[in-house]
Amino acid sequence: MSMFASDLVVIGAGPVGLYAAYYAGFRGLSTTVVDALPEVGGQISAMYPEKPIYDIAGFPAVLGRDLVAALKEQADRFSPGYVLGERADGLVRDDDGALTVTTAAGTAIRCRSVVISGGIGAFTPRPLPVGADWHGRGLSYFVPSLEAHADQDVIVVGGGDSACDWALSLAPIARSVTLVHRRGAFRAHAHSVAQVMASAVEVITDAEVKQIGGTGQIEHVEINGPGGSIVRPAQAVIAALGFTANLGPIRQWGIDVQGNRHIPVDTAMSTNVPGVFAAGDITDYRGKVRLISVGFGEAATAVNNAAVLINPEEALFPGHSSDALPAPA
C-alpha cells in the first residue's frame, strides 16, 4: 500500500475538482486530487472535449479541452498531487480525528478534510464486446489527443453525441474515419448527424464490430453489416459507447445520499459527516442548479470552510486574489 498525507483530498478531477484544488492551494493547503479516470477533466474530457462551452464566465466560448487545460494550469501553480485511474474506495476516521481516504488500487491518503466533487459519480466506459484484449493496443474509450491519431485509419463505434463528435473532429486529421453504429437511427443531435453525413466520414449503420485483428497493435477491423462482413484497415478503434456513473463505495461512508446519486449539503457545502464537504453536480439543496459555473462557487465555499476547519485561526474569507502575493510558478 502506498501511503502519504495532505491537508485536503479532492475526490473528482473534473472542472469543479480542479478549481477546488486551485482554491486549496490559494489557501495554503496541500492537496491531493483522486479520480477513477486516467486523466483530469471528468465528463468534459470523457464526453465532449472538442465541443465549445458557452456559459463559463469570462469566455464567450471555450472548447472543453481548453477549459480543462486552463483549470489544471491554474491549479498546478500550487503543485497538487494527482492520483488518477484509481477509484476512491474507503474513508475512515483515525483516533486523532484525521481522515484517511483509500483507493481500490491500494493508495492511502491521510488528510484533515475531504471535498467530494465527483459529478454524478465515477465514470466507467461501456465496453466493446470484442475489445477486451485490445485496450491500450489501439482501442480507447475517449480521445485525450486528436493529434495522436494523425494519418491513422480510425474506426469510431457508437451512435451518440460523443461518437459523432469524435468522428467529425478526427476527419481532418486521420487518414480515414469510419463510424459504425448498430442501429439505423442515431441518438446524437440531428445537426451533428447531418454534419457527419456531409463529411468525409464513412458511415456504416445496422452494423457492429465483429472482430479486431493485428499483431501486437490493431491493424484491421471486421465489421458485420447489412451486406455481410467487410474488413477495414485500422490502427485505432474508439469505442464511444457511453459511460455508466455510480457513486460506488461513497454510499458506504456514512454520508447521506438522496436518490442514490446526490449528496445533501448545507450552506457551507458540509455533508452530514464532519470534515467532509461536497461541491458540483453531486450536491443537492433547495434551488440547486447543476451548472459548471455554479459548481465553481460551491468549490470555493467548500474549500474555504475546510480551510477554517483545518486551521481554526484562519479567517473564512480568503481575501481577494488580486491583493495576494504572486502564486508560486
Domains recognised in the chain with CATH numbers: 2-124+243-323 (3.50.50.60), 127-239 (3.50.50.60)
What is the Cα–Cα distance from 40 to 169, expressed in whole angstroms? 20
CA–chain centroid gap for 261, Å, is: 16
CA torsion, points 66, 71, 77, 83, in degrees to nearest 10? -110
| Residue 22 marked in a binding site | no
Contact of 295 with 306, CB cutoff 8 Å: no
Q: H helices of 27-79, where? A: 42-47, 64-76
pLDDT score for 324: 75
Instruction: Specify the length of the chain in residues.
Output: 329
Q: H or E element: which one contains 301?
A: helix 292-310
For the chain, first and last CA: distance in Å?
32
Task: Give the rounded distance of the alpha carbon of 238 from its chain centre.
Answer: 17
Q: What is the pLDDT of residue 33?
A: 98
Q: Is 48 labelled as part of a ligand binding site?
A: yes
Please indicate if the annotation marks 82 as binding a ligand: no
Residue 43 marked ligand-binding = yes
**Percentages of the chain per state (helix, strand, coil), in multiples of 5:** 25, 30, 45
Predicted local confidence at residue 329, as pLDDT? 52
Task: Report CA 265 to chain centroid distance, whole Å.
Answer: 22
Residue 117: name the closest of 27, 23, 252 by CA: 23
pLDDT in 10s for each residue of the chain, 329 residues: 789 999 999 999 999 999 999 999 999 999 999 998 888 998 888 777 777 889 999 999 999 889 999 999 999 999 999 999 999 999 999 988 899 999 999 999 999 999 999 876 666 778 999 998 998 899 998 787 789 999 999 999 999 988 998 999 999 999 999 999 999 999 998 999 999 999 999 999 999 999 999 999 999 999 999 989 999 999 999 999 987 777 778 888 999 998 878 999 999 999 999 999 999 999 999 999 999 999 999 999 999 999 999 999 999 999 888 887 655 55
pLDDT of res. 286: 96
Count Cβ atoms below 10 Å from residue 327 Cβ, excluding itself: 12
To the question of whether residue 123 is assigned a binding role by annotation, the answer is: yes
CA distance 13 to 24: 14
CB neighbours of residue 304 within 10 Å = 22
Beta bridge partners of 113: 8
Residue 56: which residues within 8 A CB-CB, separation 6 or more? 62, 67, 292, 293
| Residues 194, 17: Cα–Cα separation, whole Å | 35
